[in-house]
Amino acid sequence: MHVLVTGGTGHSGSYIIPELIAAGHEVTGLARSDASAAALSALGAQVRRGDLRDLDGLKKAAADSDGVIHVAHRQDLLPSGGMDAVTEAELPVMLAYGEALAGTGKPLVVAGSIGSPGQLGRPSTEEDPALPVGDEHKGTLRVRNAVETVVIGLAEQGVRSSVVRISNIAHGTTDRAGFLPMLIALAKQNGYAGYPGDGANMWNAVHIGDVAPLFRLALEKGPAGKYWHAVGDEGIPLRQIAEAIGSRLNLPAVSIPLDELMIPAYFGFIANIVTQSYPTTNLITRQTLGWEPAHPGLLADLDNGHYFPASSEGTLKI
């Protein structure tokens, strides 16, 4: 299969491309710079110069392929417009893919996020739809909710579209700007590893090396209109994560009081989600696609050292 991959040099894409090539697929990666083009070539992919803003170019690239894996987004919009701006830019891209692939039955696999707190009194499953975008769902990772809804809707237009919901913590050696590095940076900055309240709220996690096989399986045999859960650890109490970070930095783990002043003061712009609980399951994904996580879990991966170079260890402050 000739597969178009966007975001091929990023955290997940740099694993997805080798996974596809090893399985015998031909891969073309979208590159908007010489540096990205060189990185794609190094991964073994063909290079197609382009940009997410060029919708006509995306439609042509998608039409020329046997399937599309989309894991890119407009990171340049985050500093000025935040996640709402990213959403606004993502939606036309999904519609462009829909135009190019409508009626073909070709696969379109798009990165999503678990992103919705466990508000139903149970772990979230693959059968749970994306929550609507709105203030009433404060605490959701909203950018992917709107995008997911459009992608799933493309199944009604003859696209074998599906969404791989990636865990809130996708850990591994290429994790530079995710939730885990943020918590580590906050611990270094404040001299202690904080967790909200009793820290019993659950966060899901997956090794990024396990995400790539799931994208491949969804591309190869995933039915249309489905969600897949790239989840290794289905729920780790945030207190355990803070304690693990603190122990590796020689810093204490400290409860941050659950009030409107203390939580934002410590957690900053992630304060609206850090108090939420995100337990989830991957049973349907494993049963339907035969996917099984094979890499270390989150707490074990923290022992591998790549998040804590020797020169960056903290000093104990109380």
pLDDT tens column, 270-282: 888 899 899 999 9
Pick the CATH number of 2-171+207-234 from 3.10.180.10, 3.40.50.720, 3.30.2350.10, 3.90.1170.50: 3.40.50.720
Beta strands 26-31; 46-49: pairing state: parallel
- Residues 135-145 pLDDT 10s: 444 444 455 67
C-alpha pair distances (Å), 138 with each of 40, 102, 115, 165, 272 = 37, 34, 11, 19, 7
Going by pLDDT thresholds of 50, 70 and 90, the confidence category of residue 114 is: confident
Residue 182 has pLDDT above 50, yes or no: yes
Residue 119 has pLDDT above 60, yes or no: no
Average pLDDT of 163-167?
A: 95
| pLDDT > 70 in the chain, percent | 86
Average pLDDT of 91-115?
A: 94
Specify the pLDDT at position 259.
Answer: 86
Quick count: other Cβ atoms within 10 Å of Cβ 27? 23
Specify the pLDDT at position 120.
Answer: 58
Average pLDDT of 214-226?
A: 98
Specify the pLDDT at position 25.
Answer: 98
Q: Residue 3 CA to chain centroid, in angstroms?
A: 20
Residue 309 has pLDDT above 70, yes or no: yes
In terms of pTM, does the model score above 0.85? yes
Query: 70 near 122, Cβ under 8 Å?
Result: no
Specify the pLDDT at position 220.
Answer: 98
Average pLDDT of 184-195?
A: 96
First-to-last C-alpha distance (Å) of the chain: 57
Quick count: other Cβ atoms within 10 Å of Cβ 81? 14
Specify the pLDDT at position 82.
Answer: 57
Arithmetic mean of pLDDT over the chain:
89
How many CA within 13 A on the CB side of residue 235?
Answer: 16
Going by pLDDT thresholds of 50, 70 and 90, the confidence category of residue 177 is: confident
- What is the 3-state secondary structure of 167-201? CCEEECCCCCCCHHHHHHHHHHHHCCEEEECCCCC
